Structure 1
Amino acid sequence: MKKITLVCLIAAMILSGCSVTNSTSVDSNLQTTENTQQNTKNQYIMAGKIAANDEANIASKISARVSEVSVNIGSNVNKGDTIIKLDTQDLQAQVNQAQAAVNTAKASLVNATNGTRPEQIAQAQAALDNATESYEVTKKNYERTKTLVEAEANTQQQLESAEQQLVATEAQQKSAQEQLNMLKNGATETSIDVYKAQVEQAEAALKTAQTALSNGTITAPISGVVNAKNINIGEMASPSATLVSISNSSTLFVNAYAPSDIISELKEGQDVAVKVSEVPDTVFEGKIAVINSKLNSQSRNILVKVTLSDPNAQLKPGMFAEVGLKE
């Protein structure tokens, strides 16, 4: 009798365990089954690649070495966030030099207006010496850059930038020479006008230098997710290369082509189903935003733009999507 009772208890435990396992298995597969059934019911008639309305390929406006990278692939950024910093020591020196030129030009204008004194001539001579030294340094940099461009080690844009700097420093040198000459010869109404023009020229050069310096900090033009990073600390950034790509996944869409014979079944604002092979067993919600009235002359299909709903951020630009009509 005891043996019979023991056997019954073991059988009951085994059956109970099987029941729990089967129940868990059914629950875990319920969502997959529902999605599979929904996929089966939907009629998938269009396909295309996912893209984002807000995308940005970010490049540097200047050639400089990267000193800091604040993002990586997958990083979330907000518009205006700093993502890359460049080495701007040379640019800061140019700003300082341009600011000194402005100060000198303004002082020369004041001196010319108030009359010439010996110390003013000495100051103008010192300004000329500094301008000449800057010109010589810039000239050597231009010649070095030109040689590198001819050897295809630098870009044409770098040469143009060096040439602009050379022209600016040459103008500053000539301006300083003219100021010294005018002080020695005495200021006239005409020379005062020249001093005023030199102040304006120096201020314009300062503004240009300040703009170049500000380009050393690269910020995100849009909010979104970094989906590509092609630069690292210590590498050279150039205006011709994309450093970082950002896309806003909240504005995803698919440009799909629908056969002309089913266009009558479609309308703008219509809800559709979307499936993506990279995210299996999931059906995404979509909405027809635009139906192009122009027929493709080769495929005889019509372009349909479908906006996507992706609350869990599973979709990425470049994924292939199929669009179906809901049954």
Structure 2
Amino acid sequence: MRICRRILLPFFLLIALAACSDSPENRFQGYVEGEYVYVSPAIGGTLERLMVQRGQSIARDALLFTLDRKFELAAVEEARHSLQQAQDNLANLEKGQRPSEIASIQAQLRQAKASANLAKIEFERRLKLIEEQTISQEELDRTRSDYEQKAQLVRQIGAELTTARLGARSDEIRAATAQVLQAEAKLKQAQWNLDQKQRTAPAAGFVFDTYYRPGEWVAASKPVVSLLPPENVEIRFYVPQNVVSRLKTDQEVSVTMDGRETPVPAHIYYISPSAEYTPPVIYSSESRAKLVFMLKARPAPAEASGLHPGQPVDVTAPELAP
């Protein structure tokens, strides 16, 4: 429909330009057009709720529609639990063993020291007996071995106590930290997927059209709502080739239309670099008058609410007045 309008409107404008030779040289014909904002989900799904309707004016960030989000909600919940588990594991590695476990190792250390002290006394006693030749060398060696084993056990349990107080090794902590970062990234991804199933208005404006009804399947990237913000309303008009060079961007023009007595001010922001919608002609001095160029002007957002796409208008450029 918009393509037909873009083709037919300029065609009729060309006819009108040719017919209205008695109109002022600084008045041109045109029409209102809009650059629409198409709001679509990045992920497909069943349309669950449609909160707006055609013709409604909405504010920025107003909720437009919601797709079915059961799967995405479950994915977010799973990602949250995974993150909590990874964070608990990292905290456990960083703080070392529990106080009760450390107390148990300390008790083992005290027991080992007592046994080592007893073995030392027994070994020293055997040294005196060997000098008196009342025991054999084999018995002395057995006592020495027992003492050395218990002394070694004291050193081993002491090292275990030091390790328990320090916590996990640095490489284990780095691995646990990486798991936390990975879990955080998965949660962000799951939350992003969830947010895509519920879209809000990127700008305040007019709901131009809706394309789906609740219960219908919406494919990814397919627009559900089209918006027309006031700042996207524009005036398109056409001027002959002998006039276009006298117009400049940011130049003010006056827009009039049927049913409105007060003109609407607008500013030119685009001038086509080439001829628009022209039939094939030979560029002679007689045929050059058929060439027209499209210009675009933008009214103030406060004035744009009273303009409707497709509405015919007259554009007057005061600086071109004879």
Per the shorter chain, which TM-score range? 0.5 to 0.7
Equivalent of 1:109 in 40, 65, 90: 90
The 8 Å contact of residues 79 and 223 in structure 1, kept in 2 or not, is answered as yes
1:119-130 to 2 correspondence within 5 Å? Answer: none
Q: Which runs of 4+ in 1 moved over 6 A?
A: none
User: Please, which runs of 5 or more residues in structure 1 have no aligned partner?
Assistant: 1-39, 118-185
Percent identity, please.
Answer: 23
Gaps of 5+ in 2: 1-21, 99-166, 279-290
* Residue 243 (structure 1) aligns with: 224
Structure 1 residues 78 and 211, CA gap change in structure 2 (3 angstroms): same
Are positions 1:315 and 2:307 aligned together?
yes
What is the letter of the counterpart of residue 51 of structure 1?
A: E
Partner of residue 112, structure 2: none
Name the count of aligned residue pairs: 215
Residue identity opposite 1:77 in structure 2: I
- Per-residue deviation, 1:109: 2.1
Match of 1:218 in 2: 199
Relative distance call for 1:266 and 1:106 in structure 2 (3 A) is: closer
Q: TM-score, normalized by length of structure 1?
A: 0.55
Report what 1:201 is aligned to.
182
Contact kept in structure 1, 2:269 and 2:298, CA below 8 Å: no
What's the TM-score once normalised by structure 2's chain length? 0.56
Deviation per CA, 1:217-262: give whole Å up to 9, x if none: 2100011110010122122233221110111246522232311223
What is the alpha-carbon distance in structure 1 between the residues aligned to residue 316 and residue 66 of structure 2? 46
Per the TM alignment, residue 208 of structure 1 is displaced from its structure 2 partner at its CA by 1.2
1:259 aligns with 240
Whether the 8 Å CA contact 1:44–1:322 is kept in 2: the answer is no
User: CA, structure 1 residues 195+51, in 2 after alignment: closer, same or farther (shift >3 Å)?
Assistant: same
Q: If you compute each CA radius of gyration, which structure gives the higher value, 1 or 2?
A: 2
For residue 187 of structure 2, give the secondary structure of its aligned residue in structure 1: helix
Q: Deviations over 1:105-134 (max 9, x none)?
A: 1222233345579xxxxxxxxxxxxxxxxx
Asked if 1:302 is matched to 2:290, the reply is no
- For the residues of structure 2 that align with 1:82 and 1:223, how far apart are their CA atoms? 11
Q: Equivalent residues in 2 for 1:137-176 (5 A)?
A: none
Q: Cα offset for 1:263? A: 3.8
Check the 8 A contact 2:253/2:316 in 1, yes or no: no
Q: Match of 1:52, as an amino acid?
A: G
Asked if the contact 2:41–2:196 (Cα under 8 Å) also holds between the matched residues in 1, the reply is yes
The structure-2 alpha-carbon separation of the partners of 1:314 and 1:234, relative to structure 1 and needing over 3 Å to count, comes to same
Are 1:189 and 2:181 matched, yes or no?
A: no
The secondary structure found in structure 2 opposite 1:99 is helix
Indicate how the Cα distance of structure 1 residues 110 and 78 shifts in structure 2: closer, same or farther if over 3 A, else same.
Answer: same
Map of 1:50 onto structure 2: 32
- Work out the CA distance in 2 between the residues paired with 1:112 and 1:209: 27
CA RMSD of aligned residues (A): 3.4
